[in-house]
């Protein structure tokens, strides 16, 4: 992630610190989907097909930022934690 920000001209003070595994996972997912988009797009694949990678990247970033449906959030919380047992 540091390489991405450095390539964009960000100083060390501007490079965000990722402290949660979930955040790191979402950033890696978004990066992988963007890389897959670039690879499929340069390979001559139809835009409709390659766009699925951009949507998946956007969804990963939305989850990172907390832009997900409350029902999805509750499902994740209750699937990861044992509450009341």
* Tens digits of residue pLDDT in 55-69: 999 999 888 887 866
Average pLDDT over residues 11-37: 82
pLDDT at residue 20, rounded to an integer: 82
**d(C-alpha 45, C-alpha 37), whole Å:** 10
CB atoms within 10 A of CB 33: 20
**d(C-alpha 43, C-alpha 39), whole Å:** 6
Q: Between these two residues, 44 and 18, which has the higher pLDDT value?
A: 44
Residue 4 pLDDT more than 60?
no
Buried b (16+ CB within 10 A) or exposed e, 3-25: eeeeeeeeeeeeeeebeeeebee
Average pLDDT over residues 35-54: 92
Residue 25 pLDDT more than 80?
yes
| pTM (predicted TM-score) | 0.62
What residues does each domain of the chain span?
2-80
């Amino acid at each position: 992630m540091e390489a991405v920000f450095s390539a964009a001209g960000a100083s060390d003070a501007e490079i965000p610190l990722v402290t949660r595994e979930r955040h790191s996972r979402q950033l890696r997912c978004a990066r992988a989907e963007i890389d897959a988009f670039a690879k499929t797009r340069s390979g001559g694949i139809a835009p409709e097909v390659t766009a699925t990678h951009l949507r998946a990247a956007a969804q990963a970033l939305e989850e990172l930022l907390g832009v997900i449906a409350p029902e999805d959030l509750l499902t994740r919380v209750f699937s990861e934690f044992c509450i009341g047992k």
